[in-house]
Every structure is written in structure tokens, then in C-alpha cells.
Homo-oligomer: A and B are copies of this chain.
Amino acid sequence: MHAVAKTTTSVPGLRERKKQATRRAIAEAAVRLAAEHGVENVTVEAISEAAGVSPRTFFNYFPSHDDAFVLVDDEVGERIRESVRLAPADRPPLDVVRDALVAELDGFEARKELWVLQCKVLQRSPHLIHRGLKAHVAEERALAVAITDWLGSTRPGTDAPPGAAVFPRLLAAVAQTALRVAVEHWCDRPGETALAEVFRDVFAQLAQGLPRPPA
């Protein structure tokens, strides 16, 4: 408090940093081992061994064996929802959600290697896709709430037509699905197309009501 002025915020402290490091070490070890030997042949013990922690510690970071193989960043979803809530009220809903997602694409491509590697693991173990979709569904529901907020800011308290109540959930679900399809498609063709391009194309098709593409 006297000689050295501490940076009052920002620095998470050694404790938190070590925790994050441990978490990343476990996740990275899990993905690498899975890419080499296949998911079902990678035990918690092996992951812990490679990450340099005890098997018991593994479960302090991941609730289940499978959860170690999917990469989830909570902050991304929160930024997306905030972006939706602050969107101009008169824009097309699909555009609002699309742009909110596109804004996060840069950080996505930055970790390209990691995602491609994980995509391979997920393709070999479809059973893990659903673990990834777990976060997906959670995101979907939170996004639906954000969309409802955004829409509600236009006209509060009015009798709605039958479709209105489903709309936020449908838009959120479709947007997440489009994102997933774009990523899967992009993973299948590494380096061939930019993710942003696939992404924009997919949303364009959605906006047109999924017409038959010109052959």
C-alpha cells in the first residue's frame, strides 16, 4: 500500500491466473490426446497425467469427462446478447443477430488452429457434439431472452398474434443453428473459404426464406 502502487484492477492475481492456466492445460491435454487416440480411449487419468494434476482435480474444473473436450467462452455470449439489446429498434431482426455474431468472428479466426483441431475430434465422436450443444442450447435460451428484450422495447404490452410468442425462440434457435452449420461447413474445407464469408452466405439464404440455390 505504501511503496508500490498496485494496479487497482485488471490484474487477476496469481491465484486466478494459475486456475485459468490449469483449466487451459487440462482442456488442451484433453483435445490433443483425443485427436491422437480417440476420445473414448482417453481416460480422466491420462488427461490429468498429461496436464500435471491429480485425477481428483480434473473434476474440480470440469463436471464430466466429456466436458473437457469442448471449448466454451462465457464472455462471448454475453457480448452477443448485449449487442442485440442495444441494436436500433427498426432494423431487421435477422440482420441484428447476424451482425452481433459477426462481430465475434475475428476472435474466432484468431484461434483457428484450435477450432479446426476440435472440429476433427467432434467429427470422430458425434456423441460430443451434443455436449457442445449443451452450451449451445443455454446460449440459445439466453439469446431468446435478449431478443425478447430488444423487441419489447418497441411496443410494450400489446396483444400479440399467434406467431409472435414463438418468434424470439425461433430466431435465436435458427441463428445458433446457422452458426453451427457455418462452422461445420468451414471446418470441412480448411483454408478454402473465410468463415465470415460462409457465415454471411448462410444468413443471406435465411433472409430469403431458404430458396433453391441456383445450380
Q: Which residues of A contact B (CB under 8 A)?
A: 92-94, 126-127, 129-131, 133-134, 137-138, 151, 154-155, 158, 160-167, 169-171, 173-174, 177-178, 180-182, 184-185, 193, 197-198, 201-202, 204-215
Contact = CB atoms under 8 A, between A and B. Distances in A.
Contact of A165 (B137, B167, B178, B185): B185
B155 A201 contact: no
Given A164-B215, A166-B202, A170-B205, 6 more contacts: A94-B209, A130-B137, A162-B197, A162-B198, A167-B210, A209-B209
A166 to B, nearest CB: 5
Contacts of A204: 163
A129 B133 CA distance: 9
A173 B165 contact: no
* Tally of this chain's copies: 2
A214 B158 CA distance: 10
Nearest to A141: B126
23 contacts: A93-B210, A126-B137, A126-B138, A130-B133, A133-B133, A151-B212, A154-B215, A158-B215, A160-B213, A160-B215, A162-B193, A162-B201, A163-B205, A166-B202, A167-B210, A167-B212, A169-B184, A169-B185, A170-B202, A170-B205, A173-B177, A173-B178, A206-B209
A170 B169 CA distance: 18
A29 to B, nearest CB: 24
Contacts of A210: 93-94, 167, 170-171, 174, 206-207
A204 B198 CA distance: 25
Contacts of A167: 205, 210, 212-213
A212 B88 CA distance: 13
Contacts of A171: 210
A178 B170 contact: yes
